[in-house]
Structure 1
Amino acid sequence: MPEFSDIEIGTANTKTVYAGQDFHIEATLKAGADLSGLKVQITPVVSGRG
């Protein structure tokens, strides 16, 4: 099973991103075997604002 660590989200790892703008995401991935692909799904959290 692949394992993610050292996950960074947002500039300077602030964990904050803004709709309609670019954002930074970085992580270390350790897998026991070769991977043929990787799919990342980003799901927004409804904050009640906006």
Structure 2
Amino acid sequence: MFLTFLVTENSWHATMELKDFLEDIAAFRSAFTIMQIPQDTIDKKCC
């Protein structure tokens, strides 16, 4: 019984760590995509 709990607990922690990692990757990709937009394109849309 204890072994089952231990495996389940470790799996849960690994899943949560993977979720956090993927959120960080998604935030990085989003920020990187925003940085790739040329500034003159942004200025044209603005004014």
Bigger proportion of residues as strand: 1
Same-fold status (TM-score > 0.5) = no
Q: Given the two structures, how large is their TM-score scaled by the length of structure 1?
A: 0.16
Higher-Rg structure is: 2
Structure having the larger proportion of residues in helix? 2
TM-score of the superposed pair, with normalisation by structure 2: 0.17
